A and B are shown apart, each in its own frame.
Chain A
């Protein structure tokens, strides 16, 4: 299976900060990467698909980039509602895999 590695595992930031989360794949996945946001006790929510496409209804402060094995999720100006855990996921091949998650905490 393809391994997905996120960094950092935890990130402390303030409202208004620019935040970047990195995801690395153990082999090339082209652009078959998604980003999800999860809040405690809730199901994950799709933010970005195909590495850089914004899901309908998701605020434009979220953006994704990358291809091959290196990807990033950027939040341009962190809002109170954005404190959550973020997961990347590859869907290049059967055996869908997720990163271990990045928790964005209030500084």
Chain B
């Protein structure tokens, strides 16, 4: 079945970087875009960026420009989201979610990865 499986929880110190993975299965990896969305504890959903696994092109939310990098590995059907210069406000659950085109709703989501930033 179609699924997105994310890497496990992370605890990082302020100033460090984190890299979260999202492994796709059950569909053609390069046929769907992938978004990253985060959710701080008790808060709403915040869009971070999108990657096209086919060519690797990306588009990031202005808020994260310069701090976020999204990449993919087509050999393992995995996308990655790396966030640098972490601060306490980056403590959140990070989700990947796929779309067929960049004009589609997010139909399949990963289970989420909790990232805690604490000294």
- Residues on A lying within 8 angstroms of B by beta carbon are 1, 32, 34, 36, 43-46, 49-50, 55, 87, 89, 91, 94-101
Contacts and interface: CB of A to CB of B under 8 A. Distances in A.
B35 A96 contact: yes
Contacts, number: 55
B5 to A, nearest CB: 12
Interface of B: 35, 44-47, 50, 59, 61-62, 95, 97, 99, 102-107, 109-112
A99 B50 CA distance: 19
Contacts of B111: 43
B59 to A, nearest CB: 6
A87 to B, nearest CB: 6
A98 B35 CA distance: 13
A98 B112 contact: no
B105 A94 contact: no
Q: What DSSP secondary structure best describes chain A's contact surface?
A: loop
A97 B45 CA distance: 8
A36 B110 CA distance: 14
Contacts of A45: 109
Nearest to A4: B44
B47 A101 contact: no
B105 A49 contact: yes
Instruction: Please name the 4 residue pairs, one residue from A and one from B, whose CB atoms are nearest each other, closest first.
Output: A34-B105, A49-B105, A43-B109, A98-B45
A94 B59 contact: yes
Contacts of A91: 99, 102-105
Contact of A98 (B46, B59, B104): B46
